[in-house]
Amino acid sequence: MSLRRLNRRDGQLLLVSFLILFLEMSLLRWISTEVRIFAYVNNLVLLACFLGMGLGCQYAKRDPKPIVTLLSLLALILLVTNRFFGEAPILLSIFSDSHVWFAAQRQAVILQLAVGLVSTLTMFALILTVFFPLGQILGRLFNERRDIVAAYSLNIAASLVGIWVFNELSFAYTPPWFWFATAVGCLSAFIVWTTGSLGVLCGGVAVLLVMAGQPMATGQTVLWSPYQKLQVSPLQRQPFSKEYHVSVNNVNYMLLLDLSDRALQHFSGIVDLSKKKFSHYDIPYLFKRGAQDVLIVGAGGGNDAAGALRNGATRITAVEIDPGIYRIGRTLHPESPYSNPHVQMVIDDARSFFKRCNQRFDLMTFGLLDSHTLGSTLTNTRIDHYVYTEESFREAKALLKGDGVLTVTFEVPRVWVRERIRGLLRQAFGVEPLVFNNRPDRGVFGWGGEMFVVSNDMTALQERIARDPSLRGFIAEHAIPSSGPATPTTDNWPYLYLERPHVPTLHLCLSITLLLLFVLARGFLMPKTRQMNWHFFFLGAAFLLLEFQNISKTTLLFGSTWLVNSFIISAILILILLANALSAVWKTANVRLLYGCLLASVVAAFLIPLSSFNALPYVARGLAASLFLNLPIFFAGLIFISSFKRAKQPDLALGSNLLGAGMGGILESLSFVTGINMLLIVVALLYFASLLLIPD
């Protein structure tokens, strides 16, 4: 083989590996934004990617047709952007055992389920078809390489580059049409250009141009932050003040309001302006008069910070996870709170801030902090899940001064969500919190929600309320009595919108459907002469589950920000590269010894809680805990590459591994029942099965 030939193949392997990861992240981000049901079962897109690549590897000996990837991608874009088909999957949200924001109304249930399921599976099939030819190309390139370790290292290195190129584009607020244009540019290197394929390319350019022009057609300002799609439009309710409405992922999310005395005079004949002091932006300062040190988590576009400034706070720390929302608030908020020198802005996850903060506060407010997206493409936890756990409220309590007050405002979708938050505050503070309805008249003072108030010194708090007859009367009029206990959320079981431990019907329905599809795919689509390599299948299933629980635990150390998630996934890929390097030096690895180390490290991760590292300083704690959590991934990487370089059919081994990863994604739903930590037992069993099925 000539050096020129070898370099060309290396280039192809690098390019297709980069393209697969980049396109996977693009579709994960875009579809979970535009098709809301995917925001709650985001790993559905991931499973389609794995299944497509896995089946493609099984067919690596047949000529791939990359033009099919382009056609399927264009069809998917047209389907998702079509108003009817793009909104149809939300009909699956009629299941009542878990909450989906702005869910569909229950009407003709069977028809709704059928339409929702068919539209969802159609999108699933198109995503699968996008990745099928790419899996063929990848499998073929592995078959042509003698040095499998080097080939796999190139694959991982290019995947790492794909992650960070996409992250840089996200950080630059680029829109989806730009991501897909980048992917099509890479894909063009594999397409045989004919008159027909050039016609398809021209059609693709036209589709992308339409995507690029959509925001201008709606008359909205659209900003794609690293987390979500933000749509900003003017709010026409005052003639002299510029206020704004912000939608997130195509649904209502927040307002940028001018609640200054001058602006509110416009509403003097509509509502009683004296009630402004009871708005959820102002009432916290009646519970802690003279508060100077104020912490706001979920600061959003600036309404809470503006309320703190109106009430005389001088040292305000505002924590917001999405830099795009902060950018909108700093640029457009009519009261300009984020330009005030008394406001310190922190772009971070609330839990991460709690762990790093050494300051103590007179008042802490949770400002309508809820999420419409998952924290990672590899987990089923939403961004806000770890904020509303028992451990989180205990950390928040520790940041309050001796008589400090904590308020939580939440748009409660179900009674048991209210009782869960009430119970968590009771457990963390050891006292019964105040709970009352705080939705201002006609929404003039904001949307509001149900408010929870608790203090380190409830006696002092009750005395303040007693001295203010209007406040005492307002609370008494809107008080919400307890309706009974609810299952508490913890860092191990953080599912705020799930009433009790069980697999939600939505996930169960989709998982069963996918399992049936997997069986059918294996029976009818996989070549009869090529059997599944079950050793690699179980390695893939175990690894994805291990990666899921690892990401979930690591975000507790460093937060659930997009940057942290990127570093976590990058660290996993770097560990695989290190395992490959060691495997290249260590020619005759004792696989059973590696399995012993792997299973021992998994058991240790199961038995030793992350809280064991709390005695260490913040940086040392993070490094030590990360090393501890990632040790099983390192041993798993050594086992995989040791088996992979001995595989007689690399394409079959890789395809089986990817199909197994898809199965691991389905098994992830077990965490709804068992909690996240118990998945490590499932991981150990899957790895043990792979040990028993090592090929002779």
Q: How far is CA 309 from the centre of its chain?
A: 32
Average pLDDT score over residue span 668-675: 90
3-state secondary structure (DSSP) of residue 401:
strand
Same domain (yes/no): 158, 267: no
Residue 483 lies in a domain: no
Same domain (yes/no): 536, 515: no
Same domain (yes/no): 287, 427: yes
pLDDT of residue 562: 64
Same domain (yes/no): 285, 164: no
Residue 299 lies in a domain: yes
Average pLDDT score over residue span 588-616: 86
pLDDT tens column, 405-417: 999 999 888 899 9
pLDDT at 616 exceeding the cut of 90: no
DSSP letter string, 354-378? HHH----EEEEEEES---SSBS-TT
pLDDT tens column, 501-541: 988 887 888 788 777 777 776 666 665 666 789 999 999 99
Same domain (yes/no): 514, 535: no
- CA–CA separation, 493 vs 380, rounded Å? 11
Stated as kind and residue range, the H or E segment containing 247 is: strand 243-248
Same domain (yes/no): 511, 439: no
Same domain (yes/no): 325, 434: yes
pLDDT tens column, 81-111: 887 777 777 777 766 666 666 555 666 667 7
Residue 486 lies in a domain: no
Query: Is residue 463 classed exposed, middle or buried when 0-12, 13-18 and 19+ CB atoms within 10 A define those classes?
Result: exposed
Residue 6 lies in a domain: yes
Average pLDDT of the chain to the nearest whole number: 86
Residue 8 lies in a domain: yes
Same domain (yes/no): 79, 154: yes
Q: Which of 496, 519, 542 is the last residue of a domain?
A: 519
The candidate with the shortest Cα–Cα distance to 299, out of 267, 325, 273, is 325
pLDDT tens column, 387-434: 999 999 999 999 999 999 999 999 888 899 999 999 999 999 999 999
Domain that holds residue 544: 531-696
Radius of gyration of the chain (CA): 27
pLDDT of residue 107: 66
Half-sphere exposure of 165 (CA within 13 A, CB side): 22
Q: How far is CA 652 from the centre of its chain?
A: 31
Report residue 465's pLDDT band, with 50, 70 and 90 as the boundaries. Answer: very high
Q: How much is the pTM?
A: 0.89
pLDDT at 443 exceeding the cut of 70: yes
In the chain, the amino acid numbered 93 is: S
pLDDT of residue 1: 34
Count other Cβ atoms within 10 Å, centred on residue 63.
9
The candidate with the shortest Cα–Cα distance to 478, out of 451, 458, 457, is 451
- CA–CA separation, 105 vs 137, rounded Å? 44
Residue 251 lies in a domain: no
Counting the structural domains of the chain, the total is 3
pLDDT of residue 217: 52
- CA–CA separation, 405 vs 407, rounded Å? 7
Same domain (yes/no): 443, 335: yes
% of the chain beyond a pLDDT of 90 = 48
Residue 462 lies in a domain: yes
Same domain (yes/no): 513, 589: no
Residue 157 lies in a domain: yes
Same domain (yes/no): 189, 303: no
pLDDT of residue 666: 85
pLDDT at 310 exceeding the cut of 60: yes
Same domain (yes/no): 410, 344: yes
Residue pair 276/445 in contact (Cβ under 8 Å)? The answer is yes
pLDDT tens column, 645-665: 888 888 889 989 998 988 888
In the chain, the amino acid numbered 678 is: M
CATH code (residue 425): 3.40.50.150
